[in-house]
Homo-oligomer: A and B are copies of this chain.
């Protein structure tokens, strides 16, 4: 009897202990966070032009939330540099300049290159995410979905940074890429900006999968140089106003 009871208890314990610790799946979110998510998607999709003003009263009425809740959301996005908060003047959609693009690429180099070079220590899962993003991008290209190509490119570089296995790097990378995507909306309609880079993404992934981490890093570095130059050029050419 004692034995049966004990086995039952330990069995239950093992069962529960074996569960994956209740991740963020059932994490209830506050209204402010949901509003922030909504605003963020609008911003990076270009629905809100860079520099546009976000009126507390009008947005609050639109989303059916109070000003206080809206202000909490503003704080969140301000910390991600998607909104800029000017005291007593209001919040505006950030308007990145060429110097921001340069800085963003500096950060990307600092995070993504070490991530690739540490590829040997990366989990198979993290590596698989890179491959999945490559195919996601190619599928988007096949159906001419330019928006999808951009999304896939973001996923790709997030996955690359994810090779580090660092929660903080993941979070930082997420922000950087969102900001970078906002930067695109500043320059003149670059619908198929990312398309030429899909093959390069594939090449880097193949090197990664083959264990050639240093060559992959070199390829990635070259990509950074080319993409940054093209972006900065688009910015300075477009610098009227």
Q: What is A's interface to B at a CB cutoff of 8 Å?
A: 27-30, 32, 68, 71-72, 75-76, 79, 81, 87-88, 103-104, 106-107, 109-111, 114, 164, 166-169, 172, 176
Contact = CB atoms under 8 A, between A and B. Distances in A.
A111 B104 CA distance: 13
Contacts of A81: 168
Q: Please give the count of copies of this chain that the complex contains.
A: 2
Contacts of A88: 28
A87 B172 CA distance: 23
Q: Which of A68, A75, A79, A176 has the most CB of B within 10 A?
A: A75
A164 B106 contact: yes
A186 B240 CA distance: 53
Given A30-B87, A75-B72, A87-B30, A110 B103 contact: no
Contacts of A103: 166-169
B68 A168 contact: no
Nearest to A32: B75
A88 B110 CA distance: 37
Contact of A169 (B68, B106, B114): B106
